[in-house]
Amino acid sequence: MERSDKSGLIVLGICVLLGLSALGYILGQAAIQYKMYDRTVTVKGLSEREYKADIVIWPIQFNVAGNDLTELYKSIDDQTHKIRTYLLRNGIAEADISVSSPAITDKSAQQYGNDAEAKFRYTAFQTVTVYSKNIDAARSVMSSLSELGKQGIVFTGDNYQSQTEYLFTRLNDVKPEMIQEATQNAREVAEKFAQDSHSDLGKIRKASQGQFSIAARDRNNPHIKRIRVVSTVEYYLSD
């Protein structure tokens, strides 16, 4: 009976030993496999293109001064009419032109104890805004706006509110191709790295699209937009 129990214990011990050996082998192989897949390379791919803006927002601001409020409003209406007529005659659509209410300042109410009287009691600022998809027509009118200046219209263009803005609204249309291009560029860089390191390029471990940026190509051509995206991709490497 004792001999039978000892035999059973020996068999059990052998089974446990074999099991532990097998487990060790499996874990060892898994560690080796994990180590192989743990090797990665992270690369960046760039896609950069230039597109023409598709919307222009052009505030045309002018000012008028005078001492008679009624005459001031007449002058505002007259100059606004001249600007509108000039825009329409040069290819800007009626629907693309809007006129804001004039901002009028009474300088006599702002003397604050200063005895010096202003030459003109009232000053008015008026803005005619062009919001158009016809970029070429708008830029052509911009270059010839001095013709209206010769008619006595005083334009103001030094403040932030009067700056022209160009918009690119078709980003969703160009996104897929640019992302594909950036990813392809990243893969080419990764393949070159793998070749130089005598490795094989594996699957993608992780990828990040990155942010799209839209900026003017240069100061002289704000209507030409440079679209840019950088994708970051991490690949597995194997021997």
With tokens 């010839």, the residue in question is 144
Q: Which residues contact 18 (CB under 8 A, 6 or more apart)?
A: none
Kindly list the domain boundaries of the chain, sorted by start residue.
1-38, 39-54+168-239, 56-165
- Rounded to an integer, the average pLDDT of 134-139 is 95
Whether the Cβ atoms of residue 137 and residue 150 lie closer than 8 Å to each other: no
Kindly tell me if the per-residue pLDDT of 217 is higher than 70: yes
Helices marked H in 46-170 — which ranges? 69-89, 135-143, 146-149
Among candidates 213, 209, 208, which has minimal Cα distance to 226?
A: 213
In CATH, the architecture of 56-165 is: 2-Layer Sandwich (3.30)
How far is it, in rounded angstroms, from Cα 206 to Cα 164?
41
% of the chain with per-residue pLDDT over 90: 57
Distance CA 49, CA 180 (A): 13
Q: Which CATH class is domain 39-54+168-239?
A: alpha beta
Structure tokens at 235: 């690949």
Task: Give residue 224's pLDDT.
Answer: 96
Asked if 111 contacts 143 with a C-beta cutoff of 8 angstroms, the reply is: no
CA distance 126 to 82: 13
Please determine, for residue 7, whether its predicted confidence score (pLDDT) is greater than 60: no
12-16, 93-97, 139-143, 158-162: range with lowest mean pLDDT: 12-16
Length of the chain: 239
Q: pLDDT, tens digit, for every residue of 26-61? A: 434 433 344 445 688 899 999 999 999 999 999 999
Cα 94 to Cα 136: distance, rounded to the nearest angstrom:
16
Here the tokens at position 37 are 């897949």
pLDDT tens figures, 53-107: 999 999 999 999 999 999 999 999 999 999 999 999 999 999 999 999 999 998 8
Please determine, for residue 9, whether its predicted confidence score (pLDDT) is greater than 60.
Answer: no
CB 108 within 8 A of CB 84: no
